[in-house]
């Protein structure tokens, strides 16, 4: 198998994942299906530097960054991961290759 075959297989895998995700998305285009008992981030508040400083959930709750971080770590927020970077914990959307559902792309409130 040469390099082109590897790339072709990967490209097909990636396209299938993107198609599956689009099929799982809600009609509003930015919110994926949410498992029972969880919320999802629906909007963000940014500071003047463009950093996300707060979140609004799909149920309308507004959370400061630290509260959102705690809820995400507790598994209460769907479709996000918490990881350690820059000496602190960071919230990010699950990596799926679709820019439109990245936290930075959510509408602002």
pLDDT tens series, the chain, 109 aa: 566 788 888 888 888 877 766 665 544 444 557 888 899 999 999 999 999 999 999 999 999 999 999 999 999 999 999 999 989 999 999 887 777 778 999 999 9
Residue showing tokens 């099929």? 23
Find out whether 62 and 54 touch, Cβ atoms under 8 Å: yes
Q: Which helix (H) or strand (E) holds 61?
A: none
Does this model's pTM top 0.85?
A: no
What is the sign, positive or negative, of the torsion defined by CA atoms of 7, 12, 17, 22? positive
Alpha carbon 94 to chain centroid, angstroms = 5
**Angle, CA 60 vertex, CA 77 and CA 85 arms, to 5°:** 40
From residue 57, how far is each of 3, 9, 44, 64 by CA, in Å? Answer: 43, 37, 9, 11
Find out whether 68 and 74 touch, Cβ atoms under 8 Å: no
């Amino acid at each position: 198998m040469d390099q082109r075959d590897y790339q072709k297989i990967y490209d097909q895998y990636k396209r299938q994942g993107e198609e599956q995700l689009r099929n799982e998305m809600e009609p509003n285009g930015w919110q994926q299906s949410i498992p029972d008992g969880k919320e999802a981030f629906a909007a963000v508040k940014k500071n003047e530097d463009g950093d996300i400083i707060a979140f609004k959930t799909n149920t309308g709750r507004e959370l400061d960054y630290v509260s959102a971080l705690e809820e995400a770590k507790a598994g209460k927020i769907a479709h996000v991961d918490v990881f350690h970077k820059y000496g602190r914990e960071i919230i990010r959307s699950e990596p799926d290759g679709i820019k439109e559902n990245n936290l930075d792309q959510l509408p602002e409130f």
